[in-house]
Structure 1
């Protein structure tokens, strides 16, 4: 009787083993697999509708000497491999980080539409279409004017170079003091070599192609990140232990909100900077007004330093009109800097990013040194996130230590 039951149980195990063995993996399934077939029978009993992969087993004894040694060695190896990966793929990682940064920045607009009963896909599509329409309309209106002004600048370049030699003109006086013409000749001649211009043109062509390729990568990644951001967010929070997860969600969502508010607010402020600069240049007849206004808007995206660099460049172009116009342009940018810092930023960005002035300057400088323009762009929200973590996590623990 026992033998019959054993045979019956063995037959049941064989059936279960057949059921658990995947149809598309290592077929045919035979009894010659031995212990593996027995394990598959046990796996069939573990698999349920609620847990198809079975329940987790017992935890490994972390105090075992072997486990401690292996964990230490694995930690060193993983740290080394991660460092090598970061160094090797740093350019690609920067693009991925920038795309995620932009996706988080656009998330407030998407979430606002979702809150108005838009499906997620429709909200993302609406935001992207709005960006395409705004960007396409601006380019359609601006490109002809920019091309015309760039062509005019190319035609007027010899006259400007001649003006540099005129000791009575404003540009000539600046040239006598700072040797502008000499620096320009060295820049375009490649240090005196005959092939300097050709090498410079080739390098410029490669840079343009590389920038276009990087831009396409960032756009595609931003769309994917924005579409799948709820799943990415949930996946990141699942990496946090259960006991710490609720507080991590509160802090993490606050960081996401800060980044989103900063990106949208900074873009709006840059648009205002370009618009008022364009109006100023038109009023006083400064040439290449639209070209310079676009330059100001782009540079204003860089906190602290962007407006100053743009103001210097525009003021130099204003010198081609007259000294008073150039000095007035300098005063205009100083006043605008004050208005932006004390009126526009508090009103538009508001409490989304609260970073002291000293931390802002240090963060922008360090970000620019480490990652260039991209580092300067993301420096302030990263600093804001760091300050939030210090205030909510580090300081309370240090106060109780």
Structure 2
């Protein structure tokens, strides 16, 4: 097969894959989640199998424990999170009014605010807009929770995802071996090398960063709740869970927490400072302890590339696109680096032929 034929084959395969995602994105979520769970837990199954436990038995134990933990988290945390989230939405107009009254004297010192903006009519208008925004969010939340399609999707997630995860985790090594047998004989070694690099990146980022996010969610949620911050649990958990987006989680969490603390505890600067300090400690913990030990420094995914991948995936394929964005970013990143290395060693770049390179090294 010529190079042109190979390129044609892989372009057709890529187009078919994209069409598959576009056409079936509405039903892929439970399968993608099941695959993600299987990939995440495969090292645990390998260790249990190495210890002498049958692969099927090890898979059943792992998936069972995983489901128990998920169900416990749903039973214990979801009602509290929903209650705090609804309370936060209901309190937004009051927060706006408090923030308006707090900032207006400071702004007045530097800016000549028109009388219209200080009038009751202006406050009433802005308050009306805030109230409408809260009602819209509440309506959207109600539709998400109560919609028939959402109910079907939830059932699919709860039933299909564990089944997919079980079978994939049980047969993971056989699936990998079967795919390995399909590799083109001529380039099998090179493809295996690239696959190993991709797996290293994914293992470092997906498994490591997921663990980091869960630990940060627990830390922020518990710390903010213990300090007595209103809605601290939901703010902390959301902050931790979106920490996989570089810097975004910490910035959003810091602004939200310090803003609520300022309104709630003013003028107690000590408590407000403690709330800010919780995020400073969290960033130190993340940057110097969790990420170096759980993610590693050779992942090779630049923060800007991760953010671009998440936005592009979400824009193209919705929530499924967000889930597959990081794996796709890892694959593209590894293949791009490989292509650049090949280009730098090719005559197209101006590099000498391989025999001349060897002669130069000998000299």
**Structure 1 length as normaliser, TM-score?**
0.64
The 2-side partners of 1:199 and 1:149 are apart by 17
Aligned to 1:224: 167
CA shift, 1:346, in A, is 1.6
Aligned to 2:127: 181
Unmatched runs of 5 consecutive residues or more in structure 1: 1-61, 191-195
Unmatched runs of 5 consecutive residues or more in structure 2: 108-116, 348-363
The 2-side partners of 1:362 and 1:228 are apart by 33
CA shift, 1:121, in A, is 1.0
> In the alignment, is the contact (CA less than 8 A) between 1:121 and 1:227 conserved in 2?
yes
Q: Highest relative contact order (Cα 8 Å, sep 6+), 1 or 2?
A: 2
Aligned to 2:239: 296
Aligned to 1:124: 59
Verify: 1:235 aligned to 2:178, yes or no. yes
CA shift, 1:104, in A, is 1.7
Aligned to 1:47: none
Aligned to 2:35: 100
The 2-side partners of 1:376 and 1:327 are apart by 35
Aligned to 1:362: 308
State how many pairs are aligned.
Answer: 324
CA shift, 1:311, in A, is 3.4
CA shift, 1:313, in A, is 3.4
**Which of the two has higher C-alpha Rg?**
1
Q: 2:333 aligns with which of 387, 391, 398?
A: 387
> In the alignment, is the contact (CA less than 8 A) between 2:90 and 2:134 conserved in 1?
no
Aligned to 1:27: none
CA shift, 1:286, in A, is 0.6
Q: 2:190 aligns with which of 247, 253, 265?
A: 247
What is the correspondence of 1:341-356 to structure 2 with a 5 Å cutoff?
341-351=287-297, 353-356=299-302
Aligned to 1:12: none
> In the alignment, is the contact (CA less than 8 A) between 2:49 and 2:55 conserved in 1?
yes
After the TM superposition, which of the residue ranges 162-171 and 284-293 deviates more from structure 2? 162-171
Report the 3-state secondary structure (helix = DSSP H, G, I; strand = E; otherwise coil) of the residue aligned with 2:53. coil
The 2-side partners of 1:326 and 1:332 are apart by 10
**Structure 2 length as normaliser, TM-score?**
0.69
Aligned to 1:18: none
The 1-side partners of 2:320 and 2:104 are apart by 36
Aligned to 2:146: 205
> In the alignment, is the contact (CA less than 8 A) between 2:63 and 2:162 conserved in 1?
no
Q: 1:334 to 1:208 in 2, by over 3 A?
A: farther
Aligned to 1:3: none
CA RMSD of aligned residues (A): 4.3
> In the alignment, is the contact (CA less than 8 A) between 1:104 and 1:226 conserved in 2?
yes
